[in-house]
Amino acid sequence: MATAAAWRALGWGLVALAGWAAAAGLYESGAGPVSVLEAASVRAALLGSPSAWLLQFYSSACGHCVAFAPAWRALAADVREWESAIRIGVLDCGAGVNYEVCKEYGIQYYPTFRYFRAFSTQFTTGENQHGSDRELQMVRQSMIDFLQNHSQETKPPACPPLEPIV
């Protein structure tokens, strides 16, 4: 006969398993507009890229990250036409193979959003996407602001003119 403690442990185990199963499919490589990066591919993707990047460092076990995933996918779909100027990506710091690279980027909490400039020739930890506002329109505007702040030499060639209309 099982004890109450054993039933509680089984219940928590099932809850954890259900959470893991839901989080395991947060982002699928090649299945949408979000670029899924890993420790083996992140530096190659960012260094020398003709596009700027907005990268979300997340953990598949983070409740905020799981809740935000649909909005992040929607943002990536919304700005898909901008991909030649700025790309949207993710890196799962909760995956064991990515742990060390997330430490190298100084990731301490999830989700963390960082911008990376086009044509970077040296390792950088990126620039934080500031503000607690994660509404899609605000993030889109911050992406435009980030592109406007590129120097002429580092501006992605596919970046349209972002001058104000007067």
Whether 62 is catalytic: yes
Q: Can the peptide bond before residue 111 be classed as cis, meaning omega within 30 degrees of 0?
A: yes
Is-contact 56 72, C-beta < 8 A? yes
Counting beta carbons within 10 angstroms of the beta carbon of residue 30, is it exposed (0 to 12), middle (13 to 18) or buried (19 or more)?
Answer: exposed
**Of 65, 93, 102, 159, which is the active-site residue?**
65
Is 159 catalytic? The answer is no
Catalytic hit among 62, 93, 102, 159: 62
Sheet-wide strand order for 127-128: 35-37, 86-92, 52-58, 112-116, 127-128
Beta strands in the chain (DSSP E): 35-37, 52-58, 86-92, 112-116, 127-128
CA dist 89 and 73 (Å) reads: 10
Active site residues: 62, 65
